Structure 1
Amino acid sequence: MSLQKDIHLYTASTMNGWKPVVFLEEAGVEYDLTHIDFSKNEQKAPDYVKLNPNGRIPTIVDRANNDFVVFESGAILWYLAEKYGKFLPSDPDEKSRTLQWLMFQMGGVGPMMGQAMYFQRIAAKNGNEDPFAIKRYVDESRRLMEVLDTHLEGKDFLVNNEYTIADMATYTWARAYYWANVSVDGLPHLQAWFDRIDDRPATQRALEIPKPFWAFFGKGDVEAQERENADRFKQDVKK
């Protein structure tokens, strides 16, 4: 009988859902995993909502800390980084810069690209195409990619040439530019950053947990996975 791990992660294969998986795989931390199945609406199950009142993924339970619960992907990364002393600079200024870029992802890259994806890959595929919204979110996502490209000039990673939780959080979203139909043409520093993180075995391993969804990155049977993804949210669009 195996012993329970300190960290119990509840997640699914989404950009936010992969963030803690990337950290745990990169840090070499063993963890227990529960795959939240959106097709069964498990994120809204009463037992799960007790852990995460927002009914979203991911969530962690730290059994080594009196079953302390953390929800919201950015907060989870920050908690894990402090708990394990990894992927977070110790210098106060560099730590603040890491938090700033983490919030840039949480407040900008994620929401804007998420809406670009939603209006094109879900709403439009379910008969609710809105060109104005699509242009708004695609254009803003492109602008944010340009901000990243400018910042990354001469840098390996977002903060002090050190791979941090800011990179982990931003990569899972920005690297899915294909799914948002956002061009990264003419952004060489951003593309070089993608290449550096693409080369990290732990990160690529994380993107297959709990199951791969390579269509986000323009790989595999995109049409079938797009249809599967759109069908999951069909009822939401009708409402």
Structure 2
Amino acid sequence: MSHGKQFTLYSHYGGPNGWKVAHVLDELKLTYETVYLKFDKQEQKGPEFTKLNPNGRIPALVDHHNNDFVIWESDAIILYVADKYDKEKRISAANEAEKYQIIQWLFFQASGQGPYYGQFFWFFKYHPEKFPSAIDRYKDEILRIFGVLENVLSKQQWLVGNKMTIADLSFVVWNFAAVGAIKDYKGEFDLEKEFPRMAAWHAKLEALPSVKKAIDARTALVKQQ
């Protein structure tokens, strides 16, 4: 079976994790087609998708240039893509030490940023009952993680080495969503005032054509729903 694009990305129009993968694919100028699963129809739990990802969560990526190799979990996907296709090491490690530092940040993103931010969104926006203690707990975790990033970025321009890598790209879409949600919750939130180094780093990432493309596409898709 022939494919016009190198990859098929299974994603969701609103879910941040699929867009993380899109950032990396676009940054490396790799061609892909996105299939947006309909969560209201539970397509992510259906047999067609769980053949690809038994966990029934987005994203999953199929590499048609590698015998239709399938990989899921967003940070595992971007590690795979960078390792295999970033031949010039534009956004991946230049040496072994940097490789493990990138993996360190991807673990932190996957175990800290994503789950805490996701729980905040759930309890603040979607849970049928309001639990202020839960909302405040996860709001405080968002601010704590902002603080971790602020501390590191006060000493260096990027998370690893002296260039942007997939470690930086893994954070941007969740931070983009979180800043807006914190503003909605608190009524007022000045990221540049409270976390100036993190805000400057985030602004540089948002300005990248690869990231801007995804943000614009996501915004348009959300408006269509």
Q: TM-score, normalised on structure 2?
A: 0.87
Q: 2: CA distance between counterparts of 1:174 and 1:40? A: 28
Spell out, residue by residue over 1:196-235, the C-alpha distance to the aligned partner (whole angstroms, 9 max, x if none): 11211111102234x42698xxxxx8xxx9xx7xxxxxxx
Distance 1:157 1:192 in 2: 11
Residue 10 (structure 2) aligns with: 10
Distance change (3 Å), C-alpha of 1:73 and 1:213: farther
Residues 103-150 of structure 1: CA distance to partner in whole angstroms, max 9, x if unpaired? 111010111111011100111xx3x11111111111111111100001
- Structure 1 equivalent of residue 211 of structure 2: 203
SS at match of 2:30: coil
Amino acid at match of 2:4: Q
Q: Report the equivalent of 1:212.
A: 219
Cross-structure match for 2:186 = none
RMSD: 2.1
Give the Cα–Cα distance (whole angstroms) in 2 for the partners of residues 43 and 189 of structure 1: 37
Residue ranges of structure 1 left out of the alignment (5+ in a row): 216-220, 229-239
Corresponding position of 1:175: 176
- In structure 1, distance between residues paired with 2:207 and 2:196: 17
After TM superposition, list the pairs within 5 Å mapping 1:47-196 onto structure 2: 47-85=48-86, 86=89, 87-123=91-127, 126=128, 128-181=129-182, 183=189, 184=191, 185-196=193-204
Distance, in Å, in 2 between the alignment partners of 1:7 and 1:190 is: 32
The CA deviation at 1:151 is 0.4
Calculate the TM-score normalised by the size of structure 1.
0.82
Shift of 1:179: 4.3
Q: Any idea what SS the aligned residue of 1:51 has?
A: coil
Identity %: 38
In structure 2, the CA distance between the partners of 1:213 and 1:147, relative to structure 1 (3 Å rule), is farther
Aligned-partner residue type, residue 174 of structure 1? N
- After superposition, the C-alpha distances for 1:14-37 in whole angstroms (9 at most, x for unaligned) are 211101100111111111221112
Following the alignment from structure 2 to structure 1, what is the Cα–Cα distance between the partners of residues 214 and 84? 20
SS, match of residue 207 in structure 1: helix
Q: 4+ residue stretches of structure 1 with deviation over 6 A? A: none
1:25 and 1:202 in contact (8 A); partners too: yes
Alpha-carbon distance in structure 2 between the residues aligned to 1:199 and 1:118: 28
Shift of 1:188: 0.4
For CA contacts below 8 A with separation 6 or more, give which structure has more relative contact order. Answer: 1
* Greater mean deviation of Cα atoms: 108-117 or 4-13: 4-13
Q: Structure 2 CA distance, aligned partners of 1:161 and 1:133?
A: 38
CA–CA separation in structure 1 for the residues paired with 2:221 and 2:51: 31
| Equivalent residue, structure 2, for 1:21 | 22
